[in-house]
A and B are shown apart, each in its own frame.
Chain A
Amino acid sequence: MVNRILVGAHYGLKDWVIQRATAIVMAVYTVIFLVVIGSVGPDSLESWRGVFAGGFMRFATFLFFVSVFYHAWIGIRDIWMDYIKPDGIRLLLMVATATVLVGYAGWAIRILWRT
């Protein structure tokens, strides 16, 4: 029997849902990617670039990257919460994690839209 009042705090439900939603996006993309790679069989710079030149694959890859970074944020944050007990160090590690992931997102966009 749960006697807590469940109103007013999120109890991590939002992150729990996002962890799973991003997982499904990545899983679907993984299958699409393997099918595309398997059928195109890119063996040169041109054919490899061609895989990401189409609007669909570029957008799907972008969605995949965003899912990876958000998913990684929740997973790595859980690791810090499980093993790092001093609040200051934990906060520092969380901020560092979020910072590099936002940076990676910018990097991924640059890679996808420059080619």
Chain B
Amino acid sequence: MAEMAIKKKRPKNLDLPTIRLPLPGILSIIHRISGAALFLLLPFLLWLFESSLTSAETFASFKAVVDHGLVKIILLGLIWFYMHHFCAGIRYLLLDVDIGVDLKEAILSSKIVFGVSIALTLIVGVQVLW
């Protein structure tokens, strides 16, 4: 009986280009990508933190690295990743306690996460990097 139900033919739609990921889905995959990227760049960030604190010489080399235009762009990207992970994470914590579970609210809260995280990135990024 149970096997019959499982073997029943179901419609499949795995034509990836035609599947549109809704906004909460985009938020979710960026949450994962940003987490993975922050993990991969941990040694770089720890090195930056260490050289910024150790001595006048290492502080000078820290300054030189951070003043490089390309590094600034990478750091701005990392700040966005951090802020997105932070805001999306708070959204997930609220979902955990059943706040904003309805579809309409979930889409609205996704928009808020994107808006707030980009705003925070610009405010903090410009203050810290420029």
**B contact residues vs A (CB 8 Å cutoff):** 32, 35-36, 38-39, 42-43, 46, 49-50, 52-54, 56, 59, 86, 89-90, 93, 96, 124, 127-128
Contact = CB atoms under 8 A, between A and B. Distances in A.
A40 to B, nearest CB: 13
Which of B46, B56, B90 is the most central at the interface, judged by chain A CB atoms within 10 Å of its CB?
B46
Interface string A100-113: 10001001100100
A94 to B, nearest CB: 13
A34 B124 contact: yes
Nearest to A115: B53
8 contacts: A24-B93, A27-B86, A27-B89, A30-B86, A45-B52, A48-B59, A111-B53, A115-B53
A20 B96 contact: yes
B50 A107 contact: yes
For the residues of B in contact with A, the DSSP-based class is helix
Contact of A115 (B46, B54, B86, B124): B54
A104 B53 contact: no
A49 to B, nearest CB: 6
Contacts of B38: 72
A114 interface: yes
Nearest to A110: B50
Contacts of B46: 104, 107-108, 111
Contacts of B93: 20, 23-24
Contacts of B36: 75-76, 79
A62 interface: no
Closest 7 CB pairs of A and B: A45-B59, A115-B53, A111-B50, A72-B39, A75-B35, A23-B89, A76-B39
